[in-house]
Structure 1
Amino acid sequence: MKSRKHLASPLGAAIAALALLAGCNEPAGAPGGAADKPAQAGASETAQAAPLRPGDAAPDVKLTLHDGREVSLSSLQGKQVLVYFYPKDDTPGCTVQAKGLRDGWADLQAAGLEVYGVSTQDAQSHQAFIEKYELPFPLVVDADGAVSRAFHVPLRNDFATRQSFLIGKDGKIKQVWLEVDPKEHTAAILAAAKS
């Protein structure tokens, strides 16, 4: 019995680690996707405030970008702004999502959109992600989870869940995606920005 218990512990830890890394492997809305599953017992998860809704004022937070610059969200009033949260740099689903935004960049700019990606990795991780995939938009360092909390985005095991917020020119939330399919993300954003 002792040897089985001893083997089960490393195996359980390995499975838990793989589950963590899989957070970006499937779209949040896909059955069995990581964002659809409740956090496992003992996993750290932020207390979930009610989600922000269209018509709510966007939180006035300071965004610390990968290059050290800081942008106050309120300073962007008069522009449409996409703030999208994703679990982890350079993982499959997050890469699909970021590349979709990159590939649709001309259309996003034509729609007058500013784009900010937010996750809890550090500036070095963000810079490497940007360089590897030639991302034309900045990534926000949210190591302490303050930006996620301001937008009521749950953190699961210290990773942001995949959610997106389109902020209108008036500084109010125009559209919210609490479940995001990375492959369809850019098209959905463009449709909402043009409406």
Structure 2
Amino acid sequence: MKTALLSLLVVMFVSSFFLCTKTLAELKPGDPAPSFVTTDHDGKKVDLNELKGKWVVLYFYPKDDTPGCTIEAKEFTELYEEFLENNTLVYGISADTKESHCSFRDKYRLKVPLIPDEKHRLMSLYGVEVKNGVASRDTVIIDTSGNIARIYRHVKPAGHAREVLEFIKENSM
């Protein structure tokens, strides 16, 4: 009897955890974006709730200063002013340290704020796959109401920033 009761309690606990946790695969356009408060590489506060009224792009990438990640970061930088003109804030997120982000940003003169997520908190919140401490290359676009507008999974870095900008332009009208 005790074993059956204990088993039931364990099943209920585990089930409640999974029922309360949405992953990226479960998040879909129209869902409220999971809120968070963190800091970028410069120590500036980033509070998603304070960004309502703007489009927000969260692009998750594997590692600073690697070929694909550099291409993606440079393309978001090249289009940064155009994103701002379209009421859009862009944040790059990886598991790298603040110091690594600062070095990466300085080396390539990146304009996009980078968010260190060493403990994978944001990755977990948005269901981004992490293998060996490295995030998959996923992008989440959040609309001006704070809802998920689009999710891109396992993207190819070349041309992705332009694709994201075009999506925002098409959906801002």
What's the counterpart of residue 118 of structure 2?
143
Contact 2:58 2:139 in 1 (8 A): yes
- Is the CA contact 1:116–1:138 (under 8 Å) kept in the aligned structure 2? yes
Aligned residues: 149
Please give the secondary structure, in 2, of the residue aligned with 1:130. Answer: helix
- Aligned partners of 1:63 and 1:147 also within 8 Å: no
Q: How far has the Cα of 1:50 moved from its partner?
A: 5.0
The SS at the match of 1:84 is: strand
What is the root-mean-square deviation of aligned Cα atoms in Å?
Answer: 1.5
Residue 83 of structure 1 aligns with an amino acid whose one-letter code is: L
1:55 aligned counterpart, secondary structure: coil
In the alignment, what sits opposite 1:126?
Answer: 101
Q: What TM-score do you get using the length of structure 2 for normalisation?
A: 0.82
How far is the alpha carbon of 1:113 from its aligned partner?
0.9
2:148 maps to amino acid: I
Identity %: 37
In structure 2, list runs of 5 or more residues that go unmatched.
Answer: 1-21
Deviation readout 1:77-99 (Å, 9 max, x if unpaired): 00000001000000000000000
Q: Please, which of 32, 52, 61 is the counterpart of residue 57 of structure 1?
A: 32
Match of 1:105 among 64, 77, 80: 80
CA deviation digits over 1:34-75, x for unaligned, max 9?
xxxxxxxxxxxxxx9352211111110112211122211111
- Aligned pairs for 1:72-91 (under 5 A) are 72-91=47-66
1:180 counterpart (141, 149, 155): 155
Which residues of structure 1 form unaligned runs of 5+? 1-47
**What is the Cα deviation at residue 142 of structure 1?**
0.3
Q: Which aligned segments of 4 or more residues in structure 1 are displaced greater than 6 angstroms?
A: none
TM-score normalised by length of structure 1 = 0.73
Q: Distance in 2 between matches of 1:189 and 1:168?
A: 12
